[in-house]
């Protein structure tokens, strides 16, 4: 699903086989997610949780977590439960974001949204169930890692999800609905919290599990903040330029809702340039890691080249 032209463009830039890397990691993540959540009684809630969790998606957050764990000298096994938890958290945020009380979307990842299939009540609970299970999964399934590191990861995930992260960003986003005078500062606040916070947690949690130093963590955090904002700028651009089929969700929603976006402030061309600058800044943070940072470099390039 991800192995398209934009990946080939990134490969040429970094001379790294990103397509093969992503395909292998996606397969590992899909298998681990599939194993992580069984349908038991009461079946309806587990089915609703699995419906969205196994609906595809790029699996970018788990892949980043596995990549930084490896970069910092860890093994994929150490980070796999956290990688799954990140996708559970991301998926629950999409389920809640799509609800009628929020963005009111009918399609996500090319399928009907959770509430369209299971109803609003179950969709809310499916999100809650995934959120709680994410933390349980990290605590119970992480093996051969110092418990202090696991505790630190739990704190990082909690902060990324709560009012200091996704929830805070979503609240300001809701407050800005229908306003035409949203400042760049406010827009940056929204997306640093809604989008970049979980990407940052994905990058740092893998490194924490592997025992990265504070200075390595700081560099990785800055890398993630830059790619997080670039990711959102590209998301805003794609909302204008891509089709529903390419996106797997309704296209043109931002324009329709008269939402403040980066292209609405800067226009398309300047938005593309800002995204490219952020990716360059992200890659500069990786210089000291040498060859081992090639996957993260290639992922940064992919973010501006992606079409969905
Ligand atoms: C977290 C407790 C809690 C509640 C949710 C609704 C909400 C609060 C926050 C909204 C978060 C949100 C939906 C942010 C948008 C992030 C984003 C850019 C999503 C698209 O990510 P991709 O492109 O999607 O990685 P795939 O489908 O590929 O995984």
Distances, alpha carbon 73 to alpha carbons 53, 81, 154, 292, in Å: 29, 17, 20, 10
d(CA 63, CA 29): 8
Q: Which of 92, 97, 304 is the best mutation target for the ligand 1 pocket, counting ligand atoms within 8 Å of the beta carbon and taking the most?
A: 97
Atom of ligand 1 nearest to the CA of 91: 29
Hey, what are 54's tokens? Answer: 């196994």
Q: Which of 170, 233, 237 is the best mutation target for the ligand 1 pocket, counting ligand atoms within 8 Å of the beta carbon and taking the most?
A: 170
Hey, what are 176's tokens? Answer: 């800005």
| H-type alpha helices, the chain | 5-14, 18-36, 43-53, 60-71, 76-97, 114-118, 120-141, 147-161, 166-176, 184-191, 197-209, 214-241, 244-247, 253-256, 262-266, 268-284, 294-305
Compute, in angstroms, the gap from residue 91 CA to the centroid of ligand 1.
7
Question: Atom 7 (ligand 1): residue with closest C-alpha?
Answer: 93
Those residues with Cβ within 8 angstroms of residue 299's Cβ, 6 or more apart along the chain or in another chain? 10, 18, 60, 63, 64, 67, 227
Cis previous bond, 307, omega within 30: no
d(CA 55, CA 32): 14
Compute, in angstroms, the gap from residue 291 CA to the centroid of ligand 1.
31
d(CA 128, CA 135): 12
Strands 111-112 and 107-108: antiparallel
For the Cβ of 203 lying below 6 angstroms from any atom of ligand 1, the answer is: no
Give the Cβ contact number of residue 243 at 10 Å: 11
Q: What is the pLDDT of residue 168?
A: 98
Compute, in angstroms, the gap from residue 288 CA to the centroid of ligand 1.
31
* Exposure on the CB side of residue 9, measured as CA atoms within 13 A: 12
Q: What is the pLDDT of residue 7?
A: 57
Compute, in angstroms, the gap from residue 194 CA to the centroid of ligand 1.
7
Give the Cβ contact number of residue 301 at 10 Å: 25
For the Cβ of 96 lying below 6 angstroms from any atom of ligand 1, the answer is: yes
Give the Cβ contact number of residue 174 at 10 Å: 12
CA nearest to 159, candidates 200, 208, 215: 200
Q: What is the pLDDT of residue 242?
A: 86
Q: What is the pLDDT of residue 131?
A: 98
Give the Cβ contact number of residue 257 at 10 Å: 13
Contact 3, 23 (CB under 8 A): yes
Cis previous bond, 42, omega within 30: yes
Hey, what are 50's tokens? Answer: 């699995």
Q: What is the pLDDT of residue 1?
A: 42
d(CA 53, CA 36): 10
Hey, what are 52's tokens? Answer: 């969205």
For the Cβ of 167 lying below 6 angstroms from any atom of ligand 1, the answer is: yes
Compute, in angstroms, the gap from residue 290 CA to the centroid of ligand 1.
31
For the Cβ of 29 lying below 6 angstroms from any atom of ligand 1, the answer is: no
For the Cβ of 97 lying below 6 angstroms from any atom of ligand 1, the answer is: yes
For the Cβ of 109 lying below 6 angstroms from any atom of ligand 1, the answer is: yes
Atom of ligand 1 nearest to the CA of 165: 1
Mean pLDDT in runs of 10 for the chain (308 residues)? 52 77 98 98 98 97 98 98 98 98 95 98 98 98 98 98 98 91 96 97 98 98 97 94 82 80 94 96 97 96 86
DSSP label at 145? S
The CATH number of domain 5-305 is 3.90.1170.50: no
Contact 86, 65 (CB under 8 A): yes
Q: What is the pLDDT of residue 11?
A: 54
For the Cβ of 57 lying below 6 angstroms from any atom of ligand 1, the answer is: yes
Contact 156, 206 (CB under 8 A): no
For the Cβ of 113 lying below 6 angstroms from any atom of ligand 1, the answer is: no
For the Cβ of 26 lying below 6 angstroms from any atom of ligand 1, the answer is: no
């Amino acid at each position: 699903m991800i192995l398209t032209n934009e990946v080939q463009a990134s490969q040429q830039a970094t001379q790294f086989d990103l397509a093969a890397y992503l395909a292998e990691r996606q397969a590992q993540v899909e298998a681990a997610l599939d194993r992580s959540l069984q349908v038991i009684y009461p079946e309806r809630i587990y089915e609703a949780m699995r419906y969205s969790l196994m609906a595809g998606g790029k699996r970018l957050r788990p892949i980043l977590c596995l990549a930084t764990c490896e970069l910092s000298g860890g093994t994929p096994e150490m980070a796999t439960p956290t990688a799954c938890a990140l996708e559970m958290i991301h998926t629950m945020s999409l389920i809640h974001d799509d609800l009628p009380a929020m963005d009111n979307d009918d399609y996500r990842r090319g399928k009907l949204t959770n509430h369209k299939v299971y109803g609003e009540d179950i969709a809310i609970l499916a999100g809650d169930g995934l959120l709680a299970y994410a933390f349980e999964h990290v605590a119970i399934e992480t093996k051969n890692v110092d418990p202090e590191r696991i505790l630190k990861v739990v704190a990082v995930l909690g902060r990324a999800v709560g009012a200091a992260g996704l929830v805070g960003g979503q609240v300001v986003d809701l407050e800005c609905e229908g306003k035409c005078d949203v400042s760049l500062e406010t827009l940056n606040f929204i997306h640093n919290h809604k989008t970049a916070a979980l990407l940052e947690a994905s990058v740092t949690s893998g490194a924490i599990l592997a025992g990265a130093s504070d200075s390595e963590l700081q560099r990785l955090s800055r890398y993630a903040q830059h790619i997080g904002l670039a990711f959102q700028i590209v998301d805003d651009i794609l909302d204008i330029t891509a089709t529903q089929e390419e996106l797997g969700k309704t296209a043109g929603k931002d324009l329709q809702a008269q939402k403040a976006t980066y292209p609405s402030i800067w226009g398309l061309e300047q938005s593309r340039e800002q995204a490219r600058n952020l990716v360059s800044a992200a890659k500069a943070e990786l210089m000291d890691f040498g060859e081992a940072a090639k996957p993260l470099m290639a992922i940064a390039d992919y973010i501006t080249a992606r079409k969905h």
